[in-house]
Every structure is written in structure tokens, then in C-alpha cells.
Amino acid sequence: MIVAEQKPLAEMKTLINGAENVLVVGCGTCVTVCFAGGTREADIVSTSLRMATKLDGSPQQVTHSTVQRQCEWEYLDIIEEQVKAADIVLSLGCGIGVQAIAEHFPDAWVVPGLNTSFLGLPTEHGVWEERCAACGECLLAVTGGICPVARCSKSLLNGPCGGSENGHCEIDPDVACAWQLIVDRMSSKGKLDALLEIQPPKNWQNSRDGGPRKIVRQDLRLVEFED
Amino acid sequence: MENGQSSASNGYHAGSTLERMLRAGHFAVTGEIGPPQSADASEIRHKAALLKGCCDAVNITDNQTAIVRMSSIGAGTLVVQEGLEPVIQMTCRDRNRLAIQADLLGASALGMNNLLCLSGDHQRFGNHPTAKNVFDIDSLQLVKMVSDMRDKKIFQCGEDIKGSEPRYFVGAASAPFADPIDFRPYRLAKKVAAGADFIQTQLVYDVPAFAKFMDKVRELGLHKKTYILAGVGPLKSPGMARYMKKNVPGILVPDELIDRMTAAGAAWADKKPADMTKEEKSARMAAWKAEGIQICIELIKELRAIEGVAGVHVMAIEWESAVKPIVEGAGLFPRPQV
């Protein structure tokens, strides 16, 4: 899932500064699951902003609504009237949700209430960890299902570097050394030999480095083809 | 040498002093210079003068510990002017494959012909922790890329190098005691397979542990395919020894050495630092340093006796004056002429 964190309330206040009517829009998918921008959080954020701006002596109207999925235009239609009535929309979606609202409602002014952090999963209650860098060319088959691009601090394809100690990365004792995990897993599967192959330089063209990415599936498109 | 063309025909990879020294079977000595955090050329010249004559070549670090310093190639140019041979260090942290290849063409044109390929310390440790890192390629891919530029006359993309190819004596690092420790000889094997002509190791203080690593290295036959230079460095104080043991991944410092360093300062042991005069402090520092140099000399002698160790890499950053007494004490001075 996409894992995100709320911006500090003070920053949100700055972002909505000057607006009479503010609409906080939550999202029912990833950010609900990571407790950053679901219905509950949208309610708390709008209440907090109402109270905070009132205490500051310049109260702002803050309402909230949550859509099932902020990252698809069709799910945004139901908030059209609320968006029109708002001076500022504070999105509690990920960066995709913020942009989907801006694209779908060109007249609206949308600001982000979250910092979109990474693609990951919860490893225990209240803890999320990064797992995928969306590099566009999956290498998990050669590294035993553990991604060095996302999980090694240096994205080494032929690790480990000299900074691995007792299973953790030298940058932080709380960060696991991805290459220790890879070596352990490949050993346990009797596939350590596979790690002796030199992985060539990666093709980063399919990653963000190749420019903004786009996938076109002609088989799924609804356009009519010319003869 | 103008560039590598001549060495291609004489059987050398690069024809550097370091390569010729090792090929001739001499026990090699390399040193290390950390460039200044300024544009001060005199600092490099001063350090080069301290190392000249006692090292066959000197590594010039590349933004070591992710702190901005004079570039390795810039400082290397000054070192060449001082009549000393540099080993350019190149990390993958700050440059992508385009920048690395471009810089290596330039360094080769300037007469540099030894290269140490490194991943690079993470920028988290340095003075620009908010920087974006690169890591387009890793150190192993760098070794392969530079070897291919030399041996196949191709750029990483596969295009031919038209004209003179850069010819480097290509080195890589090894951290024998870092985790996962059992994998370390295999990672070294990968670096050798990628084309590493020589290896410089992380600092060795625990000779029996290193000997065990070398057993595996010999079992894999790696000592016949590459030249292994064991990393050594003089301890400055018992505090430094304890700090390295506790905080630096991949460095083992036996308690016996920490005890020896402590014993060297025994005459001042019952005094608190606050009660010591400046003279007492410098006398204690001198006693520690003398013991540190003595330990380093003994380490070199012990490492030299291990089959497959082709030389030593003496790391005495910000204590370059220690190198000459160490090299002399280890019976490695004067350096052979090749």
C-alpha cells in the first residue's frame, strides 16, 4: 500500500490560511489503512482545524468528506458540490489523490494534508516499512524476494557493503540490512550460488529516472481504432 | 606515461608503479591522503611530502565520510606534481555512470592510473545529510565498467571508445569482518571476477581473524587472481581503539591491543585529564602514539607472513608523519625501485 503521514497541524493551518470555507477530503483506501487520511482522520483534522483557527481568533469553516478512492476521477464526482462551495480543499489522500482532485476540479485550489512516504506494509501494529521503490523492473526473483533497491540504503545490486553489522544497516540500528536478509534467505533456500552472479548495472529507464511513466494497454482502451 | 597505450603492449594493465611493484613480487605499501575541506593546495603538497618515498602509491579519498572535500582527482593532480603516485578513489554515491566515466577519462589524461572503486559512505554520516544520493551503479559494477573501458575499449553503454582508452590498475575494497561475515570471501570473489586487480581491506587489528579470512580466500584461489593489500593503521589512543571496536562496523580490535595502549599511558593513569598539565598531556599522547606505531609495525610483520597478502595499505589520515616510522620499522624502507 501507499503509506503516508499527516503533516503537522501548524503546517495544515498555514496551507488553509485565508480561506473561509475549507473542505477536508479523506480517502478510503491506503491512507485509511495506515491511519493517515481515512474518515476518522478527516473528522479529527477538520475538528482540530476548526478549534485551532477559532482559538487564533480567525475561525474558518472546516467540513469534511471521504471518498472511496481519491485516485480515480470517477470516485470524485460525489463531492463536486462540496468542492465548489469550498475556497480550499485540503486533501488527506496521497500525492495521487491531491492531483486527481486538482485535475478533476480545475477551478478548485487543492493543498496536501499528508506527506506521501513510501510503498510498504505494516510490520506490527503502528509500524510501517518500505518494501518497493516502483523501479519498473522487478528484481525480486534474483534476491530471494527481498528488494535491495527499496531496502538497501545504497540500493546495491551486488551487496552487502561494509556497513552491515549484526543484521542492521550502519545508517540506523532500526534499519535492517537488506543484504543480510537476502544472504540469509538465499542460504536457507540453498541458492547462495545465485548471489555469486554479478548483477549488471540496472536499467533505470523504467524507473522515475526515465521521466514520468505511463502505461498504455491497447486491449483495455475504449477508443475506436482507425482502419 | 602519456596514457595507457604503451602499457597495453608491455603486458601491464596500467603500468603504474603500484602495479609494477606487485608484479615484480615486492611487498607493496600504499598510503592514504584525505584532501582538505578547502581549496588549499599546500595541505596536499605537505602531506604528499610526508608520504613520498615510503609509499608506492597513495589513495586520495573521495568525499570521505560524505563530507565535502577537494576532489580526489583534483588532489591527485597535485600529488602527481609532487612526484607521488595517486590511487584515485571513486565512489558511486555522488556520480552516475556518465559522470564517473567522464571523470575517469579526465584523470587518465592527467596521468593517473590507479583507481579504487567504492560504493561510498552514506550521506547520512556527512555534512550534507539532506542531499540526494546517486548509486546508479554499485562498486562491483564500477569495477567491471572500468575494466571494460580498459580491456574492451568500450563505454558502459557498449559503444566503442574511439581513441585512447583510460588504463587503470583497478582496485576494490574488502571488509573481511563486516556482516554477513561468511559471505565476505564470496563478495571478494565477485569483485575479482568483475576485474579487480588489487584489493585494499578495511583496517585489520585482529590478525588471527584475518588469517581465517585469508584461509578461505586461498581456498577460493583469489590470492592468485588479485593482489591483496591488508589495511593497517596506527592507534592514537586507547579511546580511539575502544571507539572503533564499539562503533565502526567491520573493525575488530582485540582487547589485548586496547590493554597495550592503556598500559602505554599508565604513568598518567591516576591523573584526571582536568588535573594534567599541557606538558603531561602531550607526553601521554606521545607515549600512546609511540605504542600505536609499534603495534602497527608488529601487525604489518604478522600480516606479511600470511600467504596471499601482497602488501599493506597504511591508513594514517591526519597523522601522515606516522607512515615513515611505520614503514621503516616494518623493514619496508627504502622502497624498491621498479
Q: Can you list the domains of chain B with their CATH numbers?
A: 5-234+300-329 (3.20.20.220)
Q: pLDDT at position A224, please?
A: 67
- DSSP reduced 3-state for A173: strand
Q: How confident is the model at residue B3 (pLDDT cuts 50, 70, 90)?
A: very low
Q: Is the pLDDT of residue B189 over 90?
A: yes
**Cβ–Cβ under 8 Å, residues B81 and B55:** no
Chain A residues with CB inside 8 Å of B140's CB? Answer: 158, 198
Residue of chain A whose Cα is closest to the Cα of B118: A161
Q: Is the pLDDT of residue B319 over 60?
A: yes
Q: Is the pLDDT of residue B98 over 50?
A: yes
Question: What is the DSSP pairing of strand A61-67 with strand A88-91?
Answer: unpaired
Mark residue A7 as left, alpha or beta (left: phi above 0; alpha: psi -120 to 50; beta: remaining).
beta
Please tell me chain A's helix, strand, coil percentages from 3-state DSSP, rounded to the nearest 5: 35, 25, 40
Q: What is the pLDDT of residues B195-251, one digit of tens each?
A: 999 999 999 999 999 999 999 999 999 999 999 999 999 999 999 999 999 999 899
- Half-sphere exposure (Cβ direction) of A34: Cα atoms closer than 13 Å: 26
Single-letter amino acid, residue B20: R
CA dihedral of residues A203, A208, A213, A219 (deg, nearest 10): 50
Q: Is the pLDDT of residue A20 over 90?
A: yes
Q: pLDDT at position B317, please?
A: 84
Q: Is the pLDDT of residue B6 over 50?
A: no
What percent of chain A is predicted at pLDDT more than 70?
98
Chain centroid to CA B80: how far? 17
Q: What is the pLDDT of residues A176-227, one digit of tens each?
A: 999 999 999 999 999 999 999 999 999 999 999 999 999 999 999 987 666 5
Instruction: Quote the mean pLDDT of chain A.
Output: 96
Q: What is the pLDDT of residues B23-39, one digit of tens each?
A: 999 999 999 999 999 99
Rg, chain B, Cα only: 20
Backbone angles phi, psi at A88, to 5 degrees: -140, 140
**Other C-beta atoms lying within 10 Å of the C-beta of residue B38:** 10
- Inter-chain contact B138–A160, Cβ cutoff 8 Å? no
Q: pLDDT at position A227, please?
A: 55
Q: What is the pLDDT of residues B50-64, one digit of tens each?
A: 999 999 999 999 999
Q: pLDDT at position A222, please?
A: 84
B285-305 average pLDDT score: 98
Q: How confident is the model at residue B273 (pLDDT cuts 50, 70, 90)?
A: confident
Size of interface A-B (CB pairs under 8 A): 93
B168-181 average pLDDT score: 97
Answer whether A65 touches B (CB < 8 Å). Answer: no
| Burial class for A132, CB neighbours closer than 10 Å (0-12, 13-18, 19+) | middle
Q: pLDDT at position B10, please?
A: 78
Chain A residues with CB inside 8 Å of B202's CB? Answer: 162
Chain B residues with CB inside 8 Å of A165's CB? Answer: 178-179, 249-250
Segments of chain A assigned to CATH 3.40.50 = 2-118
Q: What is the pLDDT of residues A54-105, one digit of tens each?
A: 999 999 999 999 999 999 999 999 999 999 999 999 999 999 999 999 999 9
Rg, chain A, Cα only: 22
C-alpha pair distances (Å), B256 with each of B243, B260, B262: 15, 6, 10
Q: Is the pLDDT of residue B1 over 80?
A: no
Cα A83 from Cα A88, distance rounded (Å): 8
CATH of domain A2-118: 3.40.50
Q: Is the pLDDT of residue A158 over 80?
A: yes
Residue of chain B whose Cα is closest to the Cα of A153: B122
Cα B190 from Cα B198, distance rounded (Å): 13
- Inter-chain contact A180–B144, Cβ cutoff 8 Å? no
Answer whether A144 touches B (CB < 8 Å). Answer: no
**Cβ–Cβ under 8 Å, residues A145 and A184:** no
Q: Is the pLDDT of residue B288 over 50?
A: yes
Q: Which of A135, A151, A152, A156 to probe by mutation at the B interface, max B CB count within 10 Å? A: A156
Q: Is the pLDDT of residue B5 over 70?
A: no
B115-128 average pLDDT score: 96
Q: pLDDT at position B9, please?
A: 60
- Inter-chain contact A160–B173, Cβ cutoff 8 Å? no
Q: pLDDT at position A223, please?
A: 73
Q: pLDDT at position B51, please?
A: 97
